[in-house]
Amino acid sequence: MKRSSIIYVPLLFSFLTTIAFSFFYYYQIQQDNEEIAEAVSSDTSPPDYHFALIGEELDHDYWRLVGKGAKQSETEQEVFVEYGGPQRSNPEEQLRLLDKAIQSKVDGIIIQALNEEFTPLIDQAVGQDIPVMTIDTDSTESSRSAYIGTDNYSAGQLAGEALVADTGGEAIIGIVTGRFNNAHHSLRVEGFRSVVGQKEGIDIVAIEESSIDRIRAEEKAYNMLTNHQEITALYGTSSLDGIGISEAAESLNRQDDLYVITFDTLEENLQLLEQGKIDALVEQQPWEMGHRSVELMIDILNNKQVEEIHHTDSSIIRKRDLPYRNALTGEGH
């Protein structure tokens, strides 16, 4: 090879490579510019409102549905819903999140008010012109604008009526309830007692707390069934109680002769109903609670007339209702 080609070939190669890279970067920059222009011209206006929605536990199917309902409203309205809560039920952390929402000066707060410790903070929010709605569990003493959720006393009555009908009015009952100081669980127990208390053949012999925990529910149900072998029926007032109860019944070989009624149509509860390990479920409407709560809060901020109490439906589901129910329910509800 000639000496001159030894010099020119690499030079020509680097020249061509430089040109190729320049074209490539030019094209790349053009593309980036187009994307930026597109993003700026598209509708990036911030939502009109920022709400905080605070539930009892994020890692729970019932609360996932509440969150999904609220997020659906977000796609329909000019609103951003910051959905939060403790990972597992923890009322102190829930209170801290409420405090944080007040400090962040959100436009509205939607909160499950578990007990009277929530009242001062709700009042503080309202005092700072942040409207508050309660969801799932009401705080009637507070200055919240409205409540959306189950009528928990009536739902307890429904459970009582179902038990009376299914047992022919003859039962020795144990109750597993979420927490004694939670307003909704107390109401579910009171409503239940108001019905079964009138029946001569029915007695309530024990009541224990599950602390919204399935293992604790199992432990409590197990102890109840061993300490009171006369028990023929167990009533659970929160979503996971029925799962714990049926585990306990199975370990004690009581699954066939024990009547079990509990709350919520979670997937696992529906399977237990199908298998005959749970006899009846009280169905609530968590998706609708989340969805409507956001709409109502917008109405409150727009000074529309909003009723104070918005009860969502509750009903009894037994195994025989499952085919009809499955045909009716759509995905996500």
Q: Where does this chain bind ligand BGC (CB under 6 A)?
A: 56, 62, 136-137, 184, 212, 238-240, 263-264, 284
**Shortest reach from residue 142's CB to ligand BGC, in Å:** 17
**Nearer to ligand BGC (CB atom), residue 79 or residue 191:** 191
**Shortest reach from residue 284's CB to ligand BGC, in Å:** 6
**Nearer to ligand BGC (CB atom), residue 107 or residue 269:** 269
Q: Which pair of tokens denotes residue 2?
A: 């000639």
What is the Cα 279 distance to its own chain's centre?
Answer: 23
**Shortest reach from residue 114's CB to ligand BGC, in Å:** 8
**Nearer to ligand BGC (CB atom), residue 49 or residue 157:** 157
Separation of alpha carbons 211 and 178, rounded Å:
5
**Nearer to ligand BGC (CB atom), residue 192 or residue 263:** 263
**Shortest reach from residue 286's CB to ligand BGC, in Å:** 8
Four-residue CA torsion sign, 204, 208, 212, 214: negative
**Nearer to ligand BGC (CB atom), residue 281 or residue 298:** 281
Residue type, 135: I
**Nearer to ligand BGC (CB atom), residue 79 or residue 212:** 212
Closest C-alpha among 104, 89, 140, 143 to residue 121: 143
**Nearer to ligand BGC (CB atom), residue 50 or residue 88:** 88
- Contact yes or no for 54/91 (Cβ under 8 A): no
65 sits in the region (left: phi over 0; alpha: psi -120 to 50; else beta) called alpha
HSE toward the beta carbon, residue 195, CA cutoff 13 A: 21
**Shortest reach from residue 129's CB to ligand BGC, in Å:** 28
308-319 as b/e, with b when 16 or more CB fall inside 10 Å?
Answer: eebebebebbbe
Angle of helix 119-127 versus helix 91-103 axis, rounded to 10: 10
- Contact yes or no for 319/274 (Cβ under 8 A): yes
**Shortest reach from residue 332's CB to ligand BGC, in Å:** 18
Q: Which residues pair with 283 in a beta bridge?
A: 315
Q: Quick one: 168 exposed, middle or buried, by C-beta within 10 A (0-12, 13-18, 19+)?
A: exposed
The residue nearest ligand BGC at its CB is 239
**Shortest reach from residue 177's CB to ligand BGC, in Å:** 10
